[in-house]
Every structure is written in structure tokens, then in C-alpha cells.
Amino acid sequence: MEAAAAVSSSSSSVTPPQWNIDRPFLTGHFHQEEKGLAESKANSVVVDICLESDKPIGCYNASLQELIVIDDILSALTGIDGRYISIKKVDSEESYSFHVAGSMDLALQESAKRIFPLCKSYLLINEFVESRSQFKSGLVNHAFAAALRALLLDYQAMVAQLEHQFRLGRFSIQGLWFYCQPMMGSMQALSIVIKKASACNFVGSAVLNLLQSQAKLMAGNYLVRSLLEKMIDSANSAYLGILERWVYEGVIDDPHDEFFIAENKSLKKESLTQDYDAMYWRQRYSLKDDIPSFLANSAETILTTGKYLNVMRECGHTVQVPALENSKLISFGSNDHYLECIKSAYDFASGELLKLMKDKYDLIGKLRSIKHYLLLDQGDFLVHFMDIARDELAKTPNEISVEKLQSLLDIALRSTAAAADPLHEDVTCSMDTCSLLKRLSTLKDLQSGDTIAETEEPVSITGVETFSVNYKAQWPLSLVISKKALTKYQLIFRFLFHCKHVHRQLCAAWQVHQGARARDMHGTAISTSSILCRNMLKFINSLLHYLTFEVLEPNWHVMHNKLENSKSIDEVIQYHDFFIEKCLKECSLLSPILLKKLEKLKLVCLQYASAAQWLMNSIEVPEDDSPSFESCKTLLKLRKPSKKPNSPTQESSVIQCVLKFEREFTSELQSLRPILSSRAQAEPYLTHLAQLILGVGMDQQM
């Protein structure tokens, strides 16, 4: 650090000191006079004055008082008490006060008081440097304190030069004030920063923001603003080291907790496959409130860049951001070079992670496999599974052996076209303990505005209502195919699976009717039951057609095209989550009122299908002309077939039972009509479902 130059001996040629912006942070440049002239006059001024320590300064004449005051001020400029100027620290205000002898000449007192703010600024800065040089203060404060220490060394050199010139008798107290003025603004600006930083115990980003705001306030003073910018550059140097490791390596090296990105080490990546509400991706790394102002617009980009690099690092993938020309983050000055470096690092990390997920971990293939098995895109394995697992699925959830179901599922997968898919081994079976409606009501993030009365759990719930399949998704695919995403897929699967089950049962009932016709068993009962069975089949076929071809397939293709053109893994997660949410909504799973109606209709279809096999047999019924609906079900399900041929009384009783099924089915279908009609106006995706299902009711009425 350069020391200040000596004060010129010629008063007529003295010019105000100018700031040295390039090398020393401040100090006045004084005119250097020839050495010979200084030595010739060195003895002409009496500097060492013999004073009595207890004698008031007012006892001396004005000229001598001036010399004494200058000597005391020079001491005060470095924080040392003088003979007649004392310094006291005000603890309550974290400041300093200066006291002068009351007998001092009033003009000298006023001149001295003008210089006291500079002395005070020096003391505050010096104290800050000492306190912020400790380890606990953090890297930014260390760098800031180091820059201030260099500034104080230059300041002390300047004071030494002033004292030297004073000993040679070169200037008066007015001259001292003249040379102190240029330093006053800068030192006071720094002292303001230091007071705020000390009062609030600022560290890291807060210190940088404080310096930035003070520099903006001093925009009209070029010298002060330049000094503050030098301080910002020095304080930034430590911060840049932390930032570079994050955007180039995905590592937070922040021993003092100064960085604006927080790491929550308690969140593990394994939670993505175990916890429905896992917050790993959103909260493992997150932004703090205190962000450096010059990085505020790039904060999200910086956060995402490091997150991507961190994922690749945890996959064992070598991460090396390609170096740009002058890629080191040196300064956040007026140029935008640091923004270019951050943007380059983000583009690399984003592209590299997306390539890794698509190529090495086959993300698109995994999603397509989930579509096959959970959205029943390829249902041949399901048909075989439903055949061989029929008896097991008919049990209650507590009685079902999951191991046996898994074995049957494996058999179905290996004996159908799914065997050619290498990913079929990732499919496993799972059993829930409650109905679909109940499960949807427990997932708070899927709650809609619809409110319905609390539904009671069916007493005889079976494996058909609770069976589902699971899919193994390991890291890093679990970022996209998380526990939450798989749970939503399973909700759709359970709805589709139950619809398929209803369809199979109705098809079986239809075959019974066809068999009866083949045996020339004609009659009103068979015709009536056949029409009802046909309408129920049309209803369930319409529902399955809507779910498959109006909802799942179109939305899948839209998502697939977006995934192919995505630029980052965050976009992939966004598109995938949007796809699942849209499918849930359009499948009516997020509308409890509509879903409850559909479930009721399916239940009526199942009850009819399970009873229809007895319609072709002779049934002895009580001679009651109006059997109850429940008694009809009981008779149709439990009574053994009679060996006697059908009688008109028996056929009449069967017709009445069938008509009661028909009335209940029609009633539920009609109650669905206003719900679909009203909702189709606000939710256009229900238009096709309304047309298909309401068409069933019209056919039935005809």
C-alpha cells in the first residue's frame, strides 16, 4: 500500500488532496518538496513545547494554543487522547465522544470540532476491523475487514505525513482541516455502514446488500462511491468462492452459513419413494430470505443449477462444467459477465441431467411402462390375472395373501405379451385397506370444492375394490416418479380395474342370456333381463371408452410431446405432474359427487350381474305379488334351481325382480343426468361422457 506524499512547503502551490482510486483506497496526494529545503527549515520551528501538565490551555497565547491543539488533533486522528482533547466511548450508543478543555480559544474549539467526525469514523472502523476479524464473523466480514485494514494503514500513513509536516511548521489548524476534508465523506460513509452492520450483526449477504445500498446513496459523489465499490469487490471475493463451487460443482462450501442457499440435510432422497408428502426436491435446497441484491434476479437459476449438478453427483456421474473464456466469477461490477457464466453453467447442468435421465435411466421408457401397467394400456396380462386371481380377489383385504397375489401377477406377466417387456419385473402388487372414495378423502392435496356427506365404508369390501399395482422407481427417476405420483397413478388404476371387473361380470351375464336364447328359452323375463343387461353393458363400455380414449390417451400424447421437447428436469416434473392431475380430474376422481354416483351405478350393475345367472333357472318364489327388492336379490343369488319347468308364477316373480333392478339403475342414471349436464358447461371435458351416458338412459327409455 502506498503511503501518502508529503505536504508541500509552498502554501501558494498547495492544492486540495485528490483520492487515489486505483491503488490506495484513499489518502490525499500532497506535493513533495525537495529534501534539502525540508532539512534547512527543520529546526526553525519549535515543536517540543515544554508545558506544565496541570496548567490550563487558556494560560497560553493563541499561537501556542494552536500548536498544542494541532498536536492533540493529530493524536485524536489515530484514537489517542491528547493533553486537552479527551476521547470517551459511549457504551449505550456504541459511539465515541470528544471533549476539549473549556479554557481553549473558542475559534480553536470550533476548528477542532470540525475534525472530530473524522476521528470518530476512524475509531469506529478500527473497532469493527478488530471485532470482525474473528473466525465466527464469517468469510464476507473477514474480507471486508481486510479491505478496511488496508484502508486504515493508508490512513495512518497519511496522518504520519501530516504530523511530519506539522513538526516542520508547514501548516496551521486551517491547513490541517484543508487536508482532512477529502477523507471526511468516505470515512463517514464507511462508518454509517459499520454502525448498521454492527447493530444488526450482519453477515454474508446482508453485509453485501448494505454496501450496495450505501453505494447507491452516494451515486452523486464519485470518489465515495468508487471507494464503496472497492469495498464491495473485496467483500464479494469470499462470497464468489462459495458461489463458484455451487454453480460449477453442486456443492455448498459454507462453514459460516452465509450463502443464500440453505441445505436441509435431514431430507434424504429415499423419502421420494417412501413418503407421499416428500419435500426433498423442493426443500433439500432452498433460497433464504436474505439474497444479495445483485443476484436477486438470478437466484432461482443459481439454485436450480446447483440442484441439477448435485443430482448427477449423487448418481456417481462425473460433473465438469465446461470452462468459458474467463469463466471465473471475479467481480459483480457494471458488466454482466458473471450472468453469462451462471447462464452457461445452468444450460450445461440442465442439458446434462436431462440427457442422463433420458438416455442412461430411460425415463420415457419407464413412463411408457407405467402407462402399460397402471393405466392398462396393454390389458392382456390383466385379463389373465383376473381369471387366475378371481378367488383370491373375492376375499376381504384382511384375508388376502399379498404374496399369493404377487405370485399370480408374476404368472400373468410372464405368460402374456408383457413377458417381452424387460421392465415388467418392476411391477408389484399392493393392497389398500379402504375403498377408493375413502382413500381419496384422506389425500388432502386432492380435495376439491365439492362437499358430500361422509360416506360409510362398504361392509363387504373385497380385494377387487382394494387391489392395485405398484412400480419400482429408483433414484434419480424417483424425482419424477415419486411416491405421490405413483399413488395418483394407483387411484386411476383402481378405478379402471373396478370398471374392468364390472364389465367382465356383465359380459358373463350377457353370455348366460345368449345361452338361454340358444336353448330356445324365450319369455318376457329373459327379454326384460336381456335389455337391462345390454343397457348396463353400454353404460360401462361408454365409461371405459371415455376414460381410455377421451382422457388417458390424448393427455398421454400431449405429455409425451412436451417431454420430448423439454429443456430441464423441472419442466419434465411439471409436465408429468400436470398430466396426472388432469387425468385425475377428467376421470372424475376429484369430484366426489360425480364419483359417488358412478360407484353406485357400478354397484347396481355388479348386483344384477351376480344374480343374473339364476334367471335362466326355475326359481320357486313366494306367491307374494310384490316381492321386496332385497328379497329378489336373495332369491336370485341363493335359491337353488328347481328341477320343474318354469311356471307363469315363477316367471312373473323373476320379471318383478328384474324390473326392480331396472328401476334402481334407471333412477341412478337419471340422477346423474343433471350433474353431468351442469358440470359439462363449466368443465368441457365432461361433454363426451355426458353424451355417452345420457344416451344410455335414452335407449333405456325407448
Positive or negative, the Cα torsion across 650, 656, 659, 660? negative
Q: At what angle do helices 139-167 and 205-217 cross, to 10 degrees?
A: 50
> What is residue 698's predicted lDDT score, i.e. its pLDDT?
42
Structure confidence by residue, pLDDT tens digits, 314-336 = 898 877 777 655 556 655 555 56
Q: Does residue 361 surpass a pLDDT of 90?
A: yes
Length of the chain: 702
Rounded Cα distance, 261 and 281, in Å:
14
> What is residue 519's predicted lDDT score, i.e. its pLDDT?
54
Quick one: average pLDDT of 517-546?
79
Structure confidence by residue, pLDDT tens digits, 236-265 = 888 888 998 899 989 999 989 999 999 999
> What is residue 190's predicted lDDT score, i.e. its pLDDT?
93
End-to-end, the C-alpha distance of the chain in Å comes to 102
Quick one: average pLDDT of 494-505?
94
Quick one: average pLDDT of 671-693?
82
> What is residue 74's predicted lDDT score, i.e. its pLDDT?
94
Least confident of 392-401, 426-435, 442-451: 442-451
> What is residue 32's predicted lDDT score, i.e. its pLDDT?
37
φ/ψ (deg, to 5) at 217: -65, -30
Q: Does residue 632 surpass a pLDDT of 50?
A: no
238 compared with 379, residue with greater pLDDT: 238
Structure confidence by residue, pLDDT tens digits, 572-615 = 999 999 999 999 999 999 989 999 999 999 999 998 888 877 66
What percent of the chain lies above the pLDDT cut of 90?
A: 44
260, 140 Cβ separation under 8 angstroms? no
> What is residue 589's predicted lDDT score, i.e. its pLDDT?
92
φ/ψ (deg, to 5) at 469: -120, 150
| DSSP per-residue letters across 469-528 | EEE---TTGGGTS-HHHHHHHHHHHHHHHHHHHHHHHHHHHHHHHHHHHHTT---HHHHH
> What is residue 10's predicted lDDT score, i.e. its pLDDT?
34
Q: How confident is the model at residue 457 (pLDDT cuts 50, 70, 90)?
A: low
> What is residue 650's predicted lDDT score, i.e. its pLDDT?
56
73, 120 Cβ separation under 8 angstroms? no
448 compared with 213, residue with greater pLDDT: 213
Quick one: average pLDDT of 653-678?
84
pTM of the model: 0.80
Rounded Cα distance, 43 and 40, in Å:
7
Q: How confident is the model at residue 521 (pLDDT cuts 50, 70, 90)?
A: low
19, 227 Cβ separation under 8 angstroms? yes
> What is residue 365's predicted lDDT score, i.e. its pLDDT?
92
453 compared with 516, residue with greater pLDDT: 516
Quick one: average pLDDT of 290-313?
92
Mean pLDDT score of the chain = 81
Q: Which residues pair with 372 in a beta bridge?
A: none
Q: Which residues contact 230 (CB under 8 A, 6 or more apart)?
A: 21, 25, 147
Neighbouring C-beta atoms of residue 701, cutoff 10 Å: 9
148, 122 Cβ separation under 8 angstroms? no
> What is residue 510's predicted lDDT score, i.e. its pLDDT?
86
Q: Long-range contacts: 100-109, Cβ < 8 Å, 24+?
A: 101/56, 101/57, 101/58, 103/56, 103/57, 103/58, 103/59, 104/57, 104/58, 104/65, 104/69, 105/58, 105/62, 105/65, 105/66, 108/62, 108/65, 108/66, 108/69, 108/173
The one-character DSSP state at 618 is B
Q: Which cell goes with 307?
A: 440442484
